[in-house]
């Protein structure tokens, strides 16, 4: 039986790298929640949980696909690079310079 815990670091890194791009298109869910009977705090919590679940799911598939195609260590290594790339551009945008 394979040990799936070895995939957790790469999956978490890919989920971190893909969180913002994947959570942006959830506007339809946000609209449905706004029209529903839930309080605003519950709506925000549900929206965050949905975007986290989506990022983790896609992160796991990305990590598995890259690990299968390139080798087991490459999926995690590319996840580190993608997460650092997002962090770099996020910090660079805070400076307000193009």
Model pLDDT for residues 70-94, shown as the tens digit of each residue: 876 777 777 778 777 777 777 777 7
Stated as kind and residue range, the H or E segment containing 26 is: none
Read off the pLDDT of each residue in 40-65 and give the average, rounded to a whole number: 87
DSSP 27-65: HHHHHHHHHSSS-HHHHHHHHHHHHHHHHHHHHHHHHHH
Q: What pLDDT, on a 0 to 100 scale, did the predictor assign at position 98?
A: 54
Q: Is the confidence at residue 44, as pLDDT, over 80? A: yes
Q: What pLDDT, on a 0 to 100 scale, did the predictor assign at position 2?
A: 66
Read off the pLDDT of each residue in 49-60 and give the average, rounded to a whole number: 87
Closest CA to 15 of 64, 71, 53: 53
CA distance 30 to 44: 8
């Amino acid at each position: 039986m394979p040990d799936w815990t070895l995939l957790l670091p790469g999956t978490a890194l890919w989920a971190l790298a893909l969180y913002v791009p994947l959570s942006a298109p959830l506007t339809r869910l946000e609209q449905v929640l706004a029209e529903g009977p839930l309080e605003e705090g519950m709506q925000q919590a549900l929206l965050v949980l949905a975007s986290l679940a989506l990022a983790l799911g896609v992160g796991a598939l990305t990590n598995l696909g890259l690990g299968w195609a390139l080798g087991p260590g490459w999926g995690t290594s590319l996840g580190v690079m993608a997460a650092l790339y997002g962090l770099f551009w996020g910090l660079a945008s805070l400076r307000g310079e193009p």
